[in-house]
Amino acid sequence: MAQTPPSIEKPTSFENVEDVNQRALNDVDFDEEYTYAEQRKIIHRIDRRLVTITGLAYCVSLMDRTNLSMAAIAGMTKELELETGTRYSLIVLMFFVPYVIFQPPMTIITRKLGPTIFLGAIVISWGVILIGMGFTQNWQQMLACRVLLGLLEAGNSIHLDYHDLSTNPPQGISPAVYTSCLVGTRDKRFSVFYLIGCVASALAGILAFGLMQMHGLHGLGGWRWIFIMEGVITGVIGILTILFLVDFPDRAHKSWLFLTEKESKFIVRRINRDRSDGDEEPFSLKKFLAPSLDLKIWGFAMIFFSTTTVTYAIAYFLPIILQAGMGFSVGAAQCLVAPPFGFAGIVMYAGAWVGDKYRVRGLIVIFNALLCIIGVPIMGFAKGNAARYVGVFFAVAGANANIPSVMAYQANNVRGQWTRALSSATLVGFGGIGGIVSSLVFRAEDAPNYTPGMYTAIACNLLILLIVGAMSAWFKHCNKLADQGRKVIEGSPDFRYTI
C-alpha cells in the first residue's frame, strides 16, 4: 500500500493499539544508507552522549524538587515553623501549580531558543534558586522559592517524546524521552534513564546526611547547607548541559561533535520506520485537539496521574515517615531512603527487559501496581519497624518502576503526530496534578503515619489495575479485528485499513 504523504496528517482513529508484530517495527533496523553494524554505532554514540548529559540534568532536577523532605527532618521544619497548620504541605503543593500552568509558555521558549541554551539556562537557574532556599528566613520566603522552582521546572520536566519536539510545536521536554525516542520507543531506554533517577534518589539521602554535617559552618544550619551545596552542584551540571546537550533530531548535525547531516537524516528515517510520523507538519490547533475524543488518551493520563500521586508522596514524605513515624534518627532516616530506591532500579530494569523481549507493556504496569498494593499497607499499617521498612521497598519499587513503564505503554500505543502530541501533553499535565493531590492527602495533621494518604495510594493503584485491564482488553480486541482486515487502525502505512 502506498505510503501516506508526510505532509498530510493521517486520519484520527480511536483504535491505536499496541504493535506486537507490525512490519514497521520489525523492519526498523533496515536502512538504505547504513548497514546494521553502522546503525548500531550511531545509536550507541547517541545513547552515550544523551543518556550521560540528560541523565545528569534529570538527576539534579529530581534532587532539587524532592530535597525538601531531607531538609525538613534536618531542622528546616522547626526553624521555619512548618509544624503550624498545613505549611509544609502548602510548600510542597505550590511547586506543582506553576509546574503545570507554565508548561505551554515554556514550550514556545523551548522551540525558539532550542534545547541546548534553554535547558542549560534553566538548570543553572535551579541552582541559583536552591542556593536562595538555603538563606530563607521564614516559610513565606521558602514558599516563594518553591513557586519559582516549579515555574522553571515546567520547562524541563514535561514527559514528551523527543521527536514530537522536533516536528511539532513542543509541549515541553523531558530528558528521558528526549533520549529514548530519538532512536525509537523502547522500554529499556526509558528505564535506563529513570534508573539514573533511582540512583540519584538513593544517593540524595546519603548526600543530604553528609552535607548536614556542615551544621554551624559560617553560622548556618545543616539543612541550609543541603540546599546551598546542592545548588552549586546543579549550577555546574547546567554549564555542562550548555556544552554537551544536542539539538532536535532534524537539527542534530549542528550540535558540537555529534552527528553529521547524513546521520541526522538517518535518525529521522528510523523514527519514520518505527512509527511513521517523523516528518514535519505545521502546527494546527484543530489537528492538535482533534484526538481529544480518543478515550485511550485520557486513560493513559489517569494511569500516569495515579502513578505520580504515589511517587511524589514517597519523595516528599518518606523521610518524615521514617524519622517521626518509625523512630529512626535523622541521619538514619536520610540514609535508609537509599536501599529501597536501589531495589526500585533493579525492578525497573528487569521489567523493561521483559517488556522489550516479549513485547508486553500493560502486564508490566499491572505487576508494578501490585507491588504497590502489597507494599503501601505494610508500610503504613504493619506492626514493627522491620516489617514496615520491608513495605517501603515494595512501595518505592512499584511506584517508581511504573514511571517508565507507563510512558512506554503510552508511547507504543499512540500513533500520529497530533495524537502523540496531545497524549504527551495530557500525560504530563495529569502527572503534575498527581503531585498536587499527593500534597493534599498527606496532611500535616495526619503525620507521621498519614493514614488518609496511604489509603489514597492504595486506591490509585487499584485504579491503575482497572484502567490497564480495560484498555488491554480493548487493544486485544482491536488487534484481532485488524488481523481479520476488519478495522481501520491509525498508524504507519503498514497498518491495514478498511477498504
CA-to-CA dists, residue 380 to 286, 325, 384, angstroms: 47, 9, 11
Mean pLDDT, 10 residues at a time, the chain of 499 residues: 42 42 51 74 75 79 86 94 91 92 75 75 93 96 95 65 33 35 49 72 89 94 96 93 71 61 72 55 67 87 96 93 92 94 91 85 95 96 94 96 89 74 83 93 86 95 96 82 63 36
Q: For residues 183 and 177, give the distance between their C-alpha atoms in angstroms, rounded to a whole number.
A: 10
- Grid coordinates representing 189 are 531506554
What DSSP line would sit under 254-311, residue for residue?
GSTTS--HHHHHHHHHHHHHHHS--S-----HHHHHGGGG-HHHHHHHHHHHHHHHHH
pTM: 0.79
- What pLDDT was estimated at residue 486? 62
Other beta carbons within 10 angstroms of residue 214's beta carbon come to 16
Residue in 318, 370, 316 with CA at minimum distance from that of residue 340 = 318
**Measured CA distances, 369 to 87, 113, 362, 363, 374 (Å):** 31, 39, 11, 10, 9
Rounded to 5, what percent of the chain is helix, strand, coil?
75, 0, 25
1 Cα distance to chain centroid: 37
Q: Which amino acid is at 47?
A: D
Q: Residue 73 region, left (φ>0) first, then alpha (ψ -120 to 50), else beta?
A: alpha
Residues 6+ apart with CB under 8 A from 133: 142, 145, 146, 149, 227, 231
Judging by beta carbons within 10 Å of its beta carbon (0-12, 13-18, 19+), is residue 164 exposed, middle or buried?
A: buried
Looking at beta carbons, which pairs linking 315-318 to residues 24 or more positions away fall under 8 Å? 315/65, 315/66, 315/69, 315/201, 316/66, 316/68, 316/69, 316/92, 316/438, 316/439, 316/442, 317/69, 317/442, 317/450, 317/453, 318/69, 318/392, 318/396
The three cell numbers of residue 72 are 525538613
- Could you report the per-residue pLDDT of 276-295, keeping only the tens digit for each? 544 555 656 677 677 788 88
List the domains of the chain with CATH numbers: 23-276+287-483 (1.20.1250.20)
pLDDT at 35: 77
